[in-house]
Every structure is written in C-alpha cells, then in structure tokens.
Amino acid sequence: MPGRIQPPHRGDIHDRLKQALVTGLTLTVPLLITVVVVSFIWGFIFGTLQPLTGTLQRVLGISGDTPEILLQIVSLLVVVVLVVIIGFLADSYSGAKAAEQRFDRAMGAIPGIGSVYQTFNEMSELVFDADTESFQEIKLVEFPTEGSYATGFVTAETPEDIQRQTGHEDMLTIYVPLAPNPLMGGYVLHVSPDRCIDVDMSVEEGLKTIMTSGVAIGDTDTVEAAPLEYSDSLPDGIVQAGWFSSGDRDDEEPSGDATSSAEDRQGEGS
C-alpha cells in the first residue's frame, strides 16, 4: 500500500541497540573508573590521617559534634602546610642536597625496601621536579623490527667510547619506554642522529601517549630521517644498550654482544 511505513528490520534494531550499548559504555566506564580510583585514594589518604585527626581534635579542643569531613579536610591542610615548610627549609639550607643524597643512599641500602624507595624516588623527581631534564625531546626510532617505529625520549649524548666502537659520531642515547608506565621499564638505545625522526611533540605529550597506550595520540608533525636500509637485525646506526628498569644506569657501556654486532654490521657495510 503506498505510503505505508515499513516496520524496522530486526537486524537494524539489534545493531542500534548494540551501538547504544557501546556508546553508553564509552561514556560511563571512564567516569565510573575515575570515581572508584578517586574514592580509593580519598579513603586511603584520610584513613592514614585518622590518628592526626584525633590528635587535632584533642589539642585544639574541637567539639565531638564537628562533622568528620571537616576534620579530615583540616588534617589534610595541616599536612600540606608541613610539606611546604619542609620544602622551604630544604631549599633554604645550603647542605640540603647532600643530606638528601645521604638519606637516599641509606634508604636504598635497606634490603627489600631500598628498591621500592628508589623506584618511587625516581618517579617523584621526574614528575615533581620542575628543573628536571631527564627527558629532553621526542624522537621516533625504528625499533624493534623494520617498518615499525617506537616513541623514544632523548636522555643524553652517547658516551664517546660507544661512539668510537660503533663508528658513529654525535650519537644520542634514547630511552624507549614500555606502556603504560614509562618509568618502570623500557629499552636504552644508542642511535645515530640520521636514524631518528624528529616529532613536533612535547615531552608531556609523549608521556601522555605512552601512559594511555597510544589512545591520546594527537596531530603531530614529523621531519623525515635518512632513508632506512633494512636488515635482519637492528638498523645500522642503532645499538641496543639493553633492558632498562628503575634503578639501572643508562650510561653504562654496552655488552660485548652489542659491540660485536655493531662491528659486524660495520664490516659488512665496508
């Protein structure tokens, strides 16, 4: 009959319901996870401050009828003020840096606790120290196989001995982190500059990319490096210094395997 409205196909209804479910999960899951994480952190912080809350209540003569949330907020403010005072005194004291280093060494020497302390100490220095230059800039490096590129952070110039052994000048030491935590492990590569691709991305954007497993990748501009010649191993001009985890040093010389493989590639090229 002309003009009759056809009922929706069962498959269309199924697809629309499926799409609505996916859209709903996309909107609600991040919010729910955020609420759960914030609630956990909130409970942990104020659970830790509970003894201080009771002490303040007794010292200041605060009535027992005072809302618990108000006491918790006051306790948190007291802790923040104490942290600021400690930081101010540390910045004002000329020997604070040496004392901090001695304390870090003492904590690091404690079996079991030392490795945990060093890990979080390095993380806090990277996150909170405004003067840190641990990560200087972002580079793309062909790693670990041909045709795939890893996001790396330039950390330093490569030691001269490594440059001499590999036959490359002005090499860069690049840290290629593992997602989603760039501070807990990754690879240290010594790379010739012509094997890198410059990326118009800040260090903060690079860290966000790693911590979100690539979800937060935005628009970036790249500068092409020299044409790459593929091989069965790492591309020429790249030396893998090894696996890095918190507490390792990235300025150590490469192992004998890395040096010998670089020399073999250099001999094949000649």
| pLDDT grade for 9, boundaries at 50, 70 and 90 | low
What is the number of structural domains in the chain?
Answer: 1
> pLDDT per residue over 125-153, tens digit each?
665 654 445 677 888 998 888 888 888 88
Cα–Cα nearest to 50, from 72, 74, 80: 72
C-alpha span between 264 and 246 (Å, rounded): 31
C-alpha span between 192 and 216 (Å, rounded): 28
> pLDDT per residue over 81-130, tens digit each?
888 888 888 777 777 778 878 888 888 888 878 888 887 777 676 656 54
- 97 part of a folded domain: no
- 256 part of a folded domain: yes
> pLDDT per residue over 211-247, tens digit each?
887 776 655 555 454 444 444 455 565 656 555 444 4
Which pTM was predicted? 0.43
- 14 part of a folded domain: no
In order, the DSSP letters of 67-124 are -HHHHHHHHHHHHHHHHHHHHHHHHH-TTHHHHHHHHHHHHHTSTTHHHHHHHHHHHH
- 209 part of a folded domain: yes
- 68 part of a folded domain: no
AA letter at 223 = V
- 50 part of a folded domain: no
Print the domain residue range for 227: 138-269
- 39 part of a folded domain: no
- 164 part of a folded domain: yes
C-alpha span between 232 and 64 (Å, rounded): 73
C-alpha span between 147 and 230 (Å, rounded): 9
The per-residue b/e assignment along 56-67, b for 16 or more CB within 10 angstroms, e otherwise, is bbeeeeeeeeee
